[in-house]
Each structure stands twice: as C-alpha cells, then as structure tokens.
C-alpha cells in the first residue's frame, strides 16, 4: 500500500486553517454593535454586547482593604473633620512645613492614633496608617515615616533595651522629633563608603562625631532643617589601638546624636544645620544638611545591637566581620522600602481614580447626529488607563504580600526570610515606584487641559512621588541587587541547594527553559487557554528563566576578559531586564493567588477579568521575546492582542466600580474633575463662577 504524501497532507491542513481564519473575518467572534458606524470610535470588537459583570463594591473593598480598614477610616475621618489641617493647593514652603508638623501632632495627640506602637509589633497596621496618612498629604506620609520608621525604627531595630526604655515614649508622643542621618553629599547608595567618623575616647568614655570633609556632610536629612531634636547618625566607628596603625575602622555603625537644645531648640555646640531649601516636591518635609565638629556623645549612645564597645575600648559583636554586621544593620532597615512600595500603590490608586472618573464623565465627539460619547469609550483612552488600573490591582496584592512577609520576618527573625524580604522589597520598591512615576504623567495627559490645573492634583502627586524612585535605595541599584540574588539562586539550583520561597518557581521553569518550547501549545489560541493562569504564569516564568540563563552565560564569557566588575557593567541592561521580569512573575503569582482566595463570586469574577488583562498586556508588551524563541506562534500572538483589547473594554464597563472599590474620599482626591457627583459644578465653583 502506498504511503500518503506528507507534503500534500500539510498543504491540505494549511488550506483548512486559512479557510477557518477567513471565516472568522467574515463572522468575527466578537461582532461590533449594530448601532455603531464602522468609522466611529475604533472601539474594541464587541465588548459592549457581552454581559456586564455585576460588581459588589462593598464586598470587593472589604476584601481589598482587609482587617485594617477601621484604622484607615479613623485617619481619614479625622482629617475630613479638620479642614484647617487639609493642605491647600497653594502654600508656601515654610507654611507647608509647619502645617505638616501640626498634622502629625494632631494625628497623635488629638486623634489618638499612635503609629510608633505598631512599627515592630504589628507592621501591617503601621503601613495601613501610613497609606491613609500619605493619601491626605504625601509630605505628611514621609514626615511620619522619618519620625517613626527611620528615626524611631533605628532605635528599636538597631538599639537594645536601654535605648528603647529611654526614647520610646518621647518618639511615640512626638516630644522627641528626630532624623535619620545616613546619606552624605558624596555617598548615597554606597553606604559602606560613608566618611563621617565616630572615634572612641577611652579617657572620657565618649564618642567624638566628626565630619572630616565637605563630602561627608549629611545631606537631604528629613526633619533636620526645622523640627528635629535628635539624629541617628551613621558613621565609621574608629577605635584607638596600640599598634602602628593607631586606630582601627570597625565599619559603619549608628549613633544617637542630640542636635538641638531640648528647651530652647537652638542648635547644639559643634553642630551646623543648613536648610536644603525648596525642592521639586515634598516641601512639607524640612530636609537639611548636618556637619559635626568634635561633637561628643556618651558611649551609651551607640546603637549596639550588632556591635558594642566596652568601657576600656574593646569591641565585641556576635557577627564575625564588618560585612556581616553591615548586612545585618541594613537588613533591619528594610521597612522603609516596604513602606515606599506600599505607599506608591496608594498614589497610583488616587491618580487612576481621578483620571478614570474624569474619562467616564468627559464627552467628546461621536457618530454623526448622535450624542457625544465618553472619552473612555475610545480605544486609545482605554489603552492608556485600563492596563494601568489592572496593574494597580496587581501591585496592591503584591505589596500586601510583601507587608505580610515583612511582618512574619519581624516576628521570626528567620535568616532565610530576612534575605527573601530584602530582595523582594528591593524589587517591588523599584518596579512599582518606576511604574507609578510614568503613570502619573499618563494620567495627567489623559485628562487633557483640565489635568494641568493644580487643583486636580496630578502636578503635586507627580512632583511629590518622583523622589520615591531614589530614596531608600536608587531603583537601578535595587534592581541590581535582585539580579544578583537571582544569579546566586541560579548557582544554588545547579549545586542542588534549597531555593527560598520567592524563587521556588525557578527550579521547574529552568528545567522547562533548557528544553525546547512545545510547538503544539505555542499555537493554542483559545480564550480558555489564554485566560488560564497556568499559561500566563508559565509564560512569565519562562521569560525570566531564559533571561537568567542567558545573562549567566554572558557574564561568564565577559568576566574572562573584563573581570567581574567589567562583565557586570557590560551586561547591566540585561541584568535590569532580568530583575524586572522576575518581579513581574512574583506580582502575577500573588494576583492569581488573590483571585483564587476571594470568597465573593462577583468580586472574584471581576478580579479574574482584571488579572487576565494584567497578564496578557504584559505578555503582549514583550511579545518579541516570545516570538523570537517560538514560545508563541504568530497566530497566537494575534489572538493575545485581540483578547487583550476585548478584556480592556470589559474592564472599562466596570471601571467606575473598580475605582470606587479603592474607597478614596472626595476630599482626598481633592480634584473637582473627579468628584463623585456633578464634577463640573465643583470645578466651575472652584475657579469662581
């Protein structure tokens, strides 16, 4: 019997696929609504004919905000009832600083909310308060963070019982306003390169704090210019020795240094304080510069959890090296990054709420002889705002997970968990703050000329948030830390080591990468397949694993000729892309998990829709990578794009409910164009009509 001709069989299958594809053009899966002309708005096919989801905003909001909703509502209610404490649109720098201090003191003493009590014992509650406070005024959120998370947190996390007993109450009730003096004029990210010195004097049992040169001046120190009375100063601990050196550098340690007289508030002898002046944003925070000239402090002012000096000048530590002590010190200060990632999501929620409410209200153009339509019905506006809304939800659950991990770390002090949180906080802080910064400009542009009015908040949000990309670790530096940890885990994987929780997926996906993409699944185009979380997670993780393996090969190759530093620099952009890809994988995994855990069916359906949009939009953004390795066939790529646009329109249909779920009061958005009712009358009233 003659065997069938395989070429003819392939041609027959190709013809069948072509006919099927042409039939879809003639009878599209999602036909356009009949009452719309083809030239109308370039709306996505057919989402308007699909059944609109019913979203129970109360149920979804309860699920999103969780058990700390009550404390947040207390914060928001307090400021709602105190209009004199609400930051006006136009305010001078000095007035803003004083208002910010009044806001924080009022919150503590009048509203009875004591954030400091939760910094260690219940970090999730502390960050919930920080989110609410920052939504009232970002300067207030940062000032609170300086007082409690940085100055207060350094005492709690780096000090011992004697320090907590002496300073806790004063920090808690705002009697001891303080600073966190780490950054210097010449050193920010490179903390081990700090030059300020703390030399022990065994004759007087004192440390002598000195600024040896102008580059060592403490710079950008929050609370220093006006309000601070104390500073946690990071300096090299210098110990006298009896050898030829005469002195030994024991590495960077933290010291409590009084900077102003407690009664007169005058600067203390040996200390110079200068005002850093008007900034791009956050002008309610009084940033200053500090110089020390032979300032003596008692030996007990060394925050000695990780290293101590005895009366006779001997150094002791439970950690064997400078690098170990340095890592332990910075590990305890990771809460600042956690807070910034969490707060950045809050900023994104506010901006998205303003832009989406306006876009639903604003009407421009339409079919001939028919009413104008909402600008959110334009595909271009949906393309700007709907994936952003999906990302806001994704970031919410990812940073919530980070807070939970951080809280667990503070209770257990597990070494492996400390490393996991350190890397996860670095990655999420870098990724989320960079995304929010870009999104703030997109939101402003999406609201046209009205978005340029200061009263509608985009300008202040953008300016205040911009520095989030720099402080608590420059984003580019933080992403390199993530990439470094990934490479370390990659090495562990091939040496049979145990991977930490956040990196577990690497074991399976690396094995998957080292084999060729499945030519069958690469061509699957069905909606069920594309909306399957397994496909989405596999795609994200495949990309990360591919980037990880390829950069490891490149580093090995370049290190032979350039050395380790040169090789790293040669591969730097590749490393940054790897870190971002990994963080996106973590974000999606947490979003999928949150969808599955949601108890209310209608809320779960809404979250699933939003999660699918987030996943497919990210895959489409990097579709070139998937196409280059045949992970996604051409027809599948088209199907992803088509489904993404369909989901975007579906999300548009429930956009009002999705932003209302954030539960942001009108006085917090403070944008007349985003008021829940009769926005235009609010706007015209503001300008004097």
Residues 386-443 have pLDDT tens digits of 999 999 999 999 999 999 999 999 888 788 888 899 999 999 999 999 999 999 999 9
With contact defined as beta carbons under 8 Å apart, do 429 and 478 qualify?
yes
Q: What is the pLDDT of residue 141?
A: 96
Classified as helix, coil or strand, 219 is strand
**What pLDDT does 672 receive?**
75
**pLDDT for res 187:** 87
Query: How open is the CA angle 445-448-452, to the nearest 5 degrees?
Result: 80
For residue 578, what pLDDT is reported? 96
Whether the CB-CB separation of 316 and 307 falls below 8 Å is answered with yes
Residue 252 structure tokens: 């960077």
Statement: the pTM of the whole predicted model exceeds 0.85: yes
pLDDT for 248: 92
Which residues are CB-contacts of 553 (< 8 A; sequence separation ≥ 6)? none
pLDDT at 354: 94
Q: Give the domains, in start order, of the chain with CATH numbers.
A: 59-173 (1.10.540), 178-313 (2.40.110.10), 334-497+505-672 (1.20.140.10)
- For residue 650 the two structure tokens come to 């579906």
Identify the three-state secondary structure at position 11: helix
Distances in whole angstroms, Cα of residue 506 to Cα of each of 537, 538, 659: 12, 11, 35
Q: Provide the pLDDT for residue 3.
A: 46
Q: What is the maximum alpha-carbon separation in the chain?
A: 107
124 CA to centre of own chain = 15
Element (H, E) at 240: strand 230-240
Is 222 annotated to bind a ligand? Reply is: yes
SS3 state at 472? coil
Res 618: pLDDT? 97
Q: Determine how many CB atoms are found less than 10 A away from the CB of residue 323.
A: 11
pLDDT at 333: 79
Question: Which H or E run contains 641?
Answer: helix 634-653
| Distance (Å, whole) CA 424 – CA 574 | 19
Residues 115 and 643: their CA atoms lie apart, in Å, by 45
Does 270 carry a binding-site annotation? no
pLDDT attached to residue 287: 97
Please identify every stretch of the chain with a pLDDT value under 70, giving residue numbers as ranges: 1-51, 493-520, 674-689
Residues 6 or more apart from 185 whose CB is under 8 A from it? 214, 215, 216, 217, 219, 289
Catalytic residue among 131, 197, 332, 472: 472
Task: Establish whether 184 is a catalytic residue.
Answer: no
Which residue matches tokens 């506006």?
381
Provide the pLDDT for residue 23. Answer: 43
Closest CA to 288 of 298, 278, 273: 273
């Amino acid at each position: 019997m003659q065997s069938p001709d395989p070429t003819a069989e392939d041609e027959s299958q190709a013809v069948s696929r072509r006919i099927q594809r042409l039939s879809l053009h003639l009878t599209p899966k999602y036909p356009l609504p009949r009452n719309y002309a083809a030239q109308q708005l370039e709306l996505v096919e057919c989402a308007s004919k699909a059944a609109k989801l019913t979203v129970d905003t109360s149920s979804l909001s309860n699920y999103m905000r969780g058990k700390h909703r009550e404390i947040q509502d207390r914060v928001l209610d307090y400021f709602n009832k105190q209009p004199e404490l609400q930051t006006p649109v136009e305010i001078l720098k000095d007035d803003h600083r004083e208002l910010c201090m009044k806001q924080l003191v009022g919150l503590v003493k009048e509203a009875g909310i004591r954030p400091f009590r939760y910094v260690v014992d219940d970090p999730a509650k502390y960050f919930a308060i920080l989110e609410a406070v920052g939504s009232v005024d970002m300067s207030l959120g940062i000032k609170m963070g300086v007082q409690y998370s940085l100055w207060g947190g350094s005492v709690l996390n780096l000090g011992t019982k004697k320090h907590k007993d002496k300073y806790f109450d004063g920090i808690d009730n705002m009697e001891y306003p303080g600073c966190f003096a780490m950054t210097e004029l010449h050193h920010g990210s490179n903390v081990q390169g700090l030059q300020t010195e703390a030399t022990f004097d065994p004759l007087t049992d004192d440390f002598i704090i000195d600024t040896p040169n102008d580059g060592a001046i403490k710079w950008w120190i929050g609370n220093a210019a006006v309000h601070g009375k104390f500073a946690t100063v990071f300096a090299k601990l210098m110990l006298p020795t009896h050898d030829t050196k005469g002195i030994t550098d024991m590495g960077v340690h933290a010291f409590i240094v009084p900077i102003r007289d407690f009664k007169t508030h005058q600067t203390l002898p040996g200390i110079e304080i200068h005002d850093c002046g008007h900034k791009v944003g956050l002008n309610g925070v009084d940033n200053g510069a500090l110089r020390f000239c032979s300032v003596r402090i008692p030996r007990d002012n060394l925050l000695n959890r990780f290293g101590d000096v005895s009366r006779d000048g001997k150094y002791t530590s439970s950690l064997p090296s400078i690098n170990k002590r340095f890592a332990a010190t910075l590990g305890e200060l990771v809460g600042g990054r956690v807070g910034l990632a969490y707060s950045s999501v809050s900023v994104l929620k506010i901006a998205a709420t303003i832009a989406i409410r306006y876009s639903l209200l604003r009407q421009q153009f339409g079919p001939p002889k028919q009413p104008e339509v909402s600008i959110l019905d334009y595909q271009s506006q949906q393309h700007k705002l709907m994936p952003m809304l999906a990302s806001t939800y994704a970031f919410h659950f990812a940073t919530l997970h980070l807070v939970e991990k951080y809280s667990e770390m503070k209770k257990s002090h597990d070494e492996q968990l400390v490393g996991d949180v350190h890397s996860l906080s670095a990655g999420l802080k870098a990724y989320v703050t960079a995304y929010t910064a870009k999104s703030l400009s997109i939101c402003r542009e999406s609201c046209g000329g009205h978005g340029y009015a200061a009263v509608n908040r985009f300008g202040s949000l953008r300016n205040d948030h911009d520095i989030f990309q720099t402080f608590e670790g420059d984003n580019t530096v933080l992403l390199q830390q993530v990439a470094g940890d990934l490479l370390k885990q990659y090495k562990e994987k091939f040496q049979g080591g145990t991977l930490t929780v956040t990196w577990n997926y690497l074991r399976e996906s690396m094995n998957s990468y080292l084999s060729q993409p499945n030519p069958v699944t690469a061509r699957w185009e069905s909606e069920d397949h594309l909306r399957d979380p397994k496909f989405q997670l596999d795609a994200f993780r495949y990309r990360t694993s591919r980037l990880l393996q390829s950069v490891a090969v490149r580093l090995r190759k370049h290190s032979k000729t350039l050395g380790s530093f040169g090789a790293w620099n040669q591969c730097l952009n590749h490393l940054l892309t790897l870190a971002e890809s990994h963080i996106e994988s973590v974000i999606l995994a947490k979003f999928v998990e949150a969808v599955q855990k949601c108890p209310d069916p209608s809320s779960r359906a809404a979250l699933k829709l939003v999660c699918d949009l987030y996943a497919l939009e990210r895959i489409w953004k990097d579709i070139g990578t998937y196409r280059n390795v045949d992970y996604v066939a051409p027809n599948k790529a088209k199907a992803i794009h088509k489904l993404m646009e369909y989901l975007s329109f579906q999300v548009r249909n429930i956009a009002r409910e999705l932003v209302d779920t954030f539960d942001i009061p009108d006085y917090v958005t403070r944008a007349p164009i985003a008021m829940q009712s009769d926005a235009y009358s609010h706007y015209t009233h503001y300008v004097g009509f």
